[in-house]
Amino acid sequence: MLTDLRHLLRLFAIGRCFARHDALFLLKDAPIGTALSRRALGLFQTLFGRRQPNLRDGERLAAALADLGPSFIKLGQVLSVRPDLVGAAIAEDLGRLRDKLPPFPWPAAKQAIETELGAPLESLFAAFEDAPVAAASVAQVHFAQTRDGLPVAVKILRPGVEAAFARDLALFAWLAEAAERHLAGMARLRPRDVVAALHDWVAIELDLRLEAAAASELRDNFTDDADVIVPAIDWQRTARRVMTVHRISGIAIEDREALIAAGIDVKVLADRVIRVFLKQALRDGYFHADMHHGNLFVASDGRLELVDFGIMGRLDLKTRRFMAEMLGAFLTGNWRRAAEVHFEAGYVPADRSVDAFAQACRSIGEPILDRPVAEISVGRLLAQLFQITETFGMQTQTHLLLLQKTMVTVEGVARSLDPEINFWNAARPVIEAWAREHMGPEAYLKETAGSLVDFARKLPQVARDLEALAETTRAEGLQLSPASIAALAETQALANARRRRPLLWALWAVALLLALALFV
């Protein structure tokens, strides 16, 4: 009860911030609450709200999240890959949510470096710039030079950021669980998975050793590549709260005029942006999932330089084949095949109609099929496809939404360099090379042979396990596992929670009245 009350009071403070930014629109039509709670919401808006008529809904929501601090900025970034939850327009605005805050003091940064690396700053670096070159909600970055003359960038976590995230993540988990329990249709949207994804992102960003490992893996994938540079990690000067990387010296990709002045062909560069992304997603199944303008630079030879590896995505071979086949089916107008690959991947329940889903695919694809290929946005095609999934009971696939969000971002970067870019011409060499290796008859035969070998290796253990199971059953009978018992208990708890729902709304009302007494 005390935990619930603490979360409710925290929600009150959050609600005040949303009201100030005119961002309470998300709750106006939400299917929650009682007449009392809706009247309380109206009173809340009257007391603390102000209109922002010149801003879009997504812009107001992004401003409120930025005002609430690190956890909410990250939440906004997670929601930017969930148009099924917030709508495509709001998701697009949240995708532009940038993480910039005033820097924290130099003495705190110096202390963190010395504590984490276990040595005085002077013994680690020959020079260190006190003023940061970038400051965000989680960390800030300083330029420095090592004792052997290597220019580096040093990323340092903000003091107290772990405690702030822990508090807010507990609140998000509480809200997600309540939503899935009490709101019809929310289970399909998997809000607890949203919080889990946020938790995973934060876990990497709050342990800079993990981000360093992500950068190192990506760098290994692009060894001697002609298109991209991933800075090397200085592992001797990297710890949980400090990460040191070799400094890049390229031009920010958003500075188009500077790129042209430096002799960079922006049309070639736009093609390169798309190729680099597809090499990551298709070839390697491991991609930088935050490739916005602020994280991309261009070296003097035209290669892309990537920074900030806190958000990464993975795609297994099955998912990559699904994406390749599905996009190919849409481009050729094969709506039946576009539907079939969804069923083969298990994304749409088997009891739904393939023909009906093919018709839904046609409704998305026909309007764009006759348009010039250069005008077809792959990211937007995927976004529209995911929007029809509710009709067919398809559960949200978080990894695909992250891919879609990144694809939209990459397309936006490429088109800012070359508005006439043809995504498919840029992508074709990578897609064709990957398809030859992974989707031809030889590839399937090789994979099948490998699966049979793996199965043969496991057969002896399977036989031993079955024999042990039979012996246990004969001796002790069939018993429920702890997981089954827990599932039954959860079912009973859900029934009890539904009976207590009127009490829950009464608690909300008491908390709001108490908060009004304290803050008004």
The gap from C-alpha 277 to its chain's centroid, in whole angstroms, comes to: 16
SS (H, E, C) 342-408: HHHCCCCCCCCCHHHHHHHHHHHHHHHHCCCHHHCCHHHHHHHHHHCHHHHCCCCCHHHHHHHHHHH
- For residue 310, the 8-state DSSP code is S
The DSSP bridge pattern shows strands 312-314 and 251-252 to be: unpaired
Give the Cα separation of 255 and 296 in Å (integer): 11
Q: What φ, ψ does residue 242 adopt, rounded to 5°?
A: -140, 135
Indicate if 225 belongs to the active site.
Answer: no
Q: Are the CB atoms for 97 and 77 separated by under 8 Å?
A: yes
Handedness of CA 11, 13, 16, 21 (dihedral sign): negative
**Spatial CA neighbour of 11 closest among 231, 154, 240, 179:** 179
SS3 of 508, please? helix
Please identify which residue in the block is written with the tokens 């602020």: 294
Q: Are the CB atoms for 126 and 143 separated by under 8 Å?
A: no
Give the Cα separation of 10 and 171 in Å (integer): 8
Phi-psi region of 149 (alpha: psi -120 to 50; beta: other; left: phi over 0): left
C-alpha pair distances (Å), 447 with each of 326, 343, 457 = 21, 21, 15
Give the Cα separation of 329 and 321 in Å (integer): 12
Supply the DSSP string of 154-197, one letter for each residue: EEEEPTTHHHHHHHHHHHHHHHHHHHHHHSTTHHHH-HHHHHHH
C-alpha pair distances (Å), 269 with each of 261, 301, 426, 520 = 14, 11, 10, 55
Catalytic residue among 234, 271, 290, 308: 290
Residues with a catalytic annotation lie at: 290
